[in-house]
Amino acid sequence: MPGSLSRRIIVVCGVLCAAFVLLAGLLLDQSSQMRSSLRWVAHSSEVLKTANRSLDHVRAAESGLRGFVLTHDPAFAEMVAAEIVAARQGAIALTQLTLDNPSQSARATQIRALIDERTANLEKVAALARSGNFAAAQTLTATGRGRFLMALVDARVSDLVNEERTLSVSRMSAAEDRLAQIRSLVMFGTPLTILALMLACLTFIRRIRRPVDAMLAVMGQLGAGDRRAGRDRQRRGRHRSLPGQEMGGDPCSRLTPSPSPTAA
């Protein structure tokens, strides 16, 4: 019995430990996947911000150039140069951020090429204006080449942004699904594991209590038998000390002589 109970305890403890390890492993896996999904959501957000910033820098360069051509204020020329540099840097960053996605990487490469071409056109107009040839700068602007390039930049950026928003929504949905799975594991897995542990403990207690109760009952019976044996010994001792009583007669009658027949 002790060996059988010990084996059962070892088996049940092993099963419970395996259940705890499985639950912990599932929680860790879901947490890792959720963190990965959240990283991709943050990545999509960074792609969107970079694309929009690059487009904003190009538009700011166009606005500054118009101000320079109209007002001849050198401050506008300095703003044009700074915005062109920022637009090109943003386009480079966009191509690096989209290397993980071939379709988005192709769009980013097109955007970078268009931004380079549009900023080069802006630099030509700005160079003419800086040299004082504002009429030639206005003539180059009036050709419509810059507007055409800007329309292409807008279209490519819109395509990239729409696709990245779709990716962001799907990645956020995946993160929410992971969170829901973690919540389910915590809400159902943990109580079930604790319930299994309690049932195992109750089973062990009942298994152990039965032989213990039986042993106590036997010990009680043995104790009661010893008490009865002691009382029997006491009675036998009293009987030995009073032999006359054992014969059923009066001990005084044995000491009194019987009357002589001659006297009668």
Q: What is the extent of the structural domain holding 29?
A: 2-204
Q: Could you give the number of structural domains in the chain?
A: 1
The pLDDT value recorded for residue 203 is 75
- Please give the Cα distance from 143 to 38 (Å, whole number): 47
Global pTM?
Answer: 0.63
Q: Please report whether residue 20 resides in a domain.
A: yes
Any idea of the CA torsion for 122, 127, 130, 133, to the nearest 10 degrees? -100
- Please give the Cα distance from 39 to 32 (Å, whole number): 11
Q: Please report whether residue 254 resides in a domain.
A: no
**pLDDT 10s digits, 186-245:** 777 778 877 877 777 777 777 676 666 667 776 766 666 655 655 666 666 665 555 554
Q: How far is CA 135 from CA 41, 125, 131, 147, in A?
A: 49, 10, 11, 18
| 68 against 4, higher pLDDT | 68
Structure-token match 């009675």, residue found: 235
Q: Please report whether residue 214 resides in a domain.
A: no
Give the mean pLDDT of 4-11: 71
Give the mean pLDDT of 78-94: 93
Q: Which segments of the chain are extended strands (E)?
A: none
Distance of CA 54 to the CA centre of its chain: 37
Q: Please report whether residue 227 resides in a domain.
A: no
**pLDDT 10s digits, 88-139:** 999 999 999 999 899 999 999 999 999 999 999 999 998 988 888 888 888 8
- Please give the Cα distance from 213 to 184 (Å, whole number): 43
Q: Please report whether residue 44 resides in a domain.
A: yes
- Please give the Cα distance from 25 to 8 (Å, whole number): 26
CATH number at residue 119: 1.20.120.1730
Q: Please report whether residue 185 resides in a domain.
A: yes
Q: Please report whether residue 46 resides in a domain.
A: yes
Q: Please report whether residue 33 resides in a domain.
A: yes
- Please give the Cα distance from 35 to 27 (Å, whole number): 12
